[in-house]
Structure 1
């Protein structure tokens, strides 16, 4: 493809630039519906579980498998999404995710037995794995670098919004115990998501990887509004693709520094799940009913936790580039550790009455606020910032897999463990995990606020201590620094 002559600044139409940004925002928004589906499908089980368990005569062990089978499917889906996204494009992977969501929703809503329910949850999980890998990657690849970090953060916010909507729907349908409607109503947004994926273009980076340069240039011009910017960005994409010709596995073998960041990424994702937020959201109604809340009150309280999760995630988006990653993470782990420890003492002391009910909900809300401020968003941000370009795809795939496998493990044994060591023992154990998370953050996690990815990569390859891989940018270059949550990942 011939390189177009640069457009004089006077010939760059401001209206075209505005239209390009609007197109990029619309395409990113359509892909962002994957986050909504992610949140809806993972959050809906909390309110439906009790009623479903009663009708299907599911034991505690069976309920654990119903809940955790989605995470097992998501772990598999996060790995299967890599070749699908490479050969069919990010758009193709999102479309397949939508089909999987639709199949899983139908099986779950109509399930006549526990095995069919588990099969439906596995389909949903594979869809979640596809979506959690391909949608952020697509958004990152079509969004301008100056807006990329914010758009990915907003995607995480959309996930919490989906969970909140699922919990709210559960609360409204709980009065009649309509668990099949709780699950089946998700078919509506699923169809909208499938239709949306057919309307967005392929990402220009994937098109360039396939040698379809003319199409890549056409998409870039549509989302940038300038032929000159499209040409320049396509040239940068091609140069980046040449730099990532080596494999991540080869880098893992040869670079001690990458082995450190690779391991840190896995630890961050594992302890994000060991902190306990997801099992709390999945099993909160069960826990609250155990504390003598009514079924309806338990579901509404869980909805309150979903609201706290979403609000605190939005708060973290505003602070992550102001306060920095480490302060948010350390503060978050302290709040989570203290609140869960006190919650365990509350359960151990059998505090009842109005005071006990208010204290229970208050401590759970405080824990959720604390978690979502740092332990929730920071691992996803850090795992992309600290990995060198050549190994970023491998590192993110493995850390995401670790996240889902840990999620599956703890959700699969939660009720069984609680029956052995007691409810207070479970929450003291979770408090202990949060305390270990604090130690990991304090001794190993670097501060990457105000750092360029290139500078971080140089220090990783130089094998400096993990705490020192963050290097502040000069004031002259800080205006151009950005975080690339998945966009430069090798597809």
Structure 2
């Protein structure tokens, strides 16, 4: 690939992946802001629960409408809609004058996250060269982890410089003069990267695969010439896409789902992968990190903050493992290794919590984060964007992304009741069992897609090849 073309590919992929940074910041922000919001706005615990959960509800809605958006408007303009919602949501959160307005703003933020979590991996899978497709999609996950870490660090600084020292006591003469400005700064900080994202997406090319599916072949060829290593590679890929599109009937993804058993298999596989990603317990660590650290025996505010930042930093650094090796080792070996380590680590968390070995429990949590960050975190999104055939891709990824957000909501809602009913150790053990189940399902059904074109995967699928053999 020429230097000019490689720079173009990197810019395109980075700007699309920037949605992940906003996604990560918004995931990480609310845990440390919610007590400030409660005191400043004078709202009840019930309203705070709605503030926390409304973003996930909005994300589910955004994910479910994204299939129609990307099919009708294209991948690029769906990202424009997502970026616009990010800007509006960040402004709404920063300016909210009561709980209702804040909930509405958080729903708007959630919609933007849902659209981005659907569209960004899809767009990256269709634009990136097949030799680095996994790496480019993983960049999206890396920026999510950087966003989470950024929110943890910034929010900890704000909290530590707003609290007088004793938990629950808030001063008005520290770094930020009052709690109202503190939480508004936490929630409104995404406005800056949101504006950068909104400006940048207008410079992104449209997806060549979407253009060809809409009969705009010449425009697609011009774009491929800019983002491929040579004219021969661009022409060959264009012809492969044209051949695939020529066999399509123009039916909707849902119609294809009803008619084609082979397509139903990849839809079910995508849903299963996303459910397994959530059932391992990762977002419990992210959403309830401070509570888990305290449950492990570290009860001070300082320890919880340091532990939360350590979780975020570990998450970022371990994602670089996936970036370095996903297109070398392949998707399937990385997933199996990751879930194996997660099962052992979460079992360790359960055992060490039960026997009150606090430091060992925290170390096990960090090992779990490392395993997730190089495997299930990025690789599930990569696979879900690769395995669906072009004609039903929007529908298939709608189903898998929707499953991710619905299970995310369900697990977040059931964690504290499970903790109360079973205790911390038994709850962690339950998540470990889910990782063991994942290993068997991956071995039986997940294909290796490393270095394989999307069109070759689709051809094998439509010819009735077994799911685990689609990449052969």
Q: CA deviation at 1:380?
A: 2.1
Q: CA deviation at 1:117?
A: 2.7
Q: CA deviation at 1:452?
A: 5.7
| Deviation by residue 1:29-80 (Cα, 9 ceiling, x = unmatched) | 2222212212222222233234434545666655444333222211111122
Match of 1:10 in 2: none
Match of 1:338 in 2: 344
Aligned length: 451
How do 1:390-469 residues align onto structure 2 when only pairs under 5 Å count? 390-449=391-450, 453=454, 456-457=457-458, 459-461=460-462, 463=464, 465-467=466-468, 469=469
Does residue 1:273 correspond to 2:273, yes or no?
A: no
Question: 3-state SS of the aligned residue for 1:320?
Answer: helix
| Deviation by residue 1:205-246 (Cα, 9 ceiling, x = unmatched) | 444445555654554455459778766655554444323335
> More displaced, 331-340 or 180-189?
331-340
Query: 70, 74, 79: which is aligned to 1:94?
Result: 79
Q: CA deviation at 1:362?
A: 0.8
Q: Structure 1 residues 295 and 51, CA, compared in 2 at 3 Å: closer, same or farther?
A: farther
Give the Cα separation in 1 of the matches to 2:235 and 2:15: 25
Gaps of 5+ in 1: 1-13, 473-491
| Deviation by residue 1:357-399 (Cα, 9 ceiling, x = unmatched) | 4223211101111222322223223334443444333222211
Q: CA deviation at 1:337?
A: 1.9
Q: CA deviation at 1:159?
A: 1.9
CA RMSD, Structure 1 to Structure 2 (Å): 3.0
Give the Cα separation in 2 of the matches to 1:236 and 1:283: 47
The answer on whether the counterparts of 2:335 and 2:375 sit within 8 Å (CA) in structure 1 is yes
Q: CA deviation at 1:280?
A: 1.2
Q: CA deviation at 1:281?
A: 0.5
Give the Cα separation in 2 of the matches to 1:372 and 1:322: 17
Q: CA deviation at 1:135?
A: 2.5
Does residue 1:35 correspond to 2:20, yes or no?
A: yes
Q: Structure 1 residues 226 and 458, CA, compared in 2 at 3 Å: closer, same or farther?
A: closer
Give the Cα separation in 2 of the matches to 1:211 and 1:410: 43
Match of 1:325 in 2: 331
Gaps of 5+ in 2: 163-181
Match of 2:383 in 1: 382
| Deviation by residue 1:379-436 (Cα, 9 ceiling, x = unmatched) | 2233344434443332222111111110111112322332333333322222222222
> More displaced, 121-130 or 440-449?
440-449
Give the Cα separation in 2 of the matches to 1:434 and 1:62: 34
The answer on whether the counterparts of 2:67 and 2:397 sit within 8 Å (CA) in structure 1 is no
Question: 3-state SS of the aligned residue for 2:204?
Answer: coil
Give the Cα separation in 2 of the matches to 1:381 and 1:438: 17
The answer on whether the counterparts of 1:60 and 1:415 sit within 8 Å (CA) in structure 2 is no
Match of 1:359 in 2: 360
Q: CA deviation at 1:447?
A: 4.2
> More displaced, 274-283 or 220-229?
220-229
Does residue 1:310 correspond to 2:295, yes or no?
A: no
TM-score, normalised with respect to structure 1: 0.81
The answer on whether the counterparts of 2:131 and 2:327 sit within 8 Å (CA) in structure 1 is no
Query: 246, 258, 283: which is aligned to 1:242?
Result: 246
How do 1:179-198 residues align onto structure 2 when only pairs under 5 Å count? 179-198=183-202
TM-score, normalised with respect to structure 2: 0.84
Match of 2:178 in 1: none
The answer on whether the counterparts of 1:85 and 1:93 sit within 8 Å (CA) in structure 2 is yes
Question: 3-state SS of the aligned residue for 1:330?
Answer: helix
Give the Cα separation in 1 of the matches to 2:424 and 2:130: 46
Give the Cα separation in 1 of the matches to 2:226 and 2:448: 37
The answer on whether the counterparts of 1:78 and 1:401 sit within 8 Å (CA) in structure 2 is yes
Match of 1:21 in 2: 6
Match of 1:481 in 2: none
Q: CA deviation at 1:257?
A: 3.5
Q: CA deviation at 1:453?
A: 5.0
Give the Cα separation in 2 of the matches to 1:429 and 1:463: 36
Q: Structure 1 residues 130 and 335, CA, compared in 2 at 3 Å: closer, same or farther?
A: same
The answer on whether the counterparts of 1:51 and 1:179 sit within 8 Å (CA) in structure 2 is yes
Match of 2:167 in 1: none
Q: CA deviation at 1:294?
A: 2.4
Match of 1:476 in 2: none
Match of 1:120 in 2: 105
Q: Structure 1 residues 442 and 205, CA, compared in 2 at 3 Å: closer, same or farther?
A: closer
The answer on whether the counterparts of 2:270 and 2:396 sit within 8 Å (CA) in structure 1 is yes
Give the Cα separation in 2 of the matches to 1:436 and 1:24: 37
| Deviation by residue 1:171-203 (Cα, 9 ceiling, x = unmatched) | 222213433211112211111111212333444
Q: Structure 1 residues 453 and 282, CA, compared in 2 at 3 Å: closer, same or farther?
A: same
Query: 81, 85, 108: which is aligned to 2:93?
Result: 108
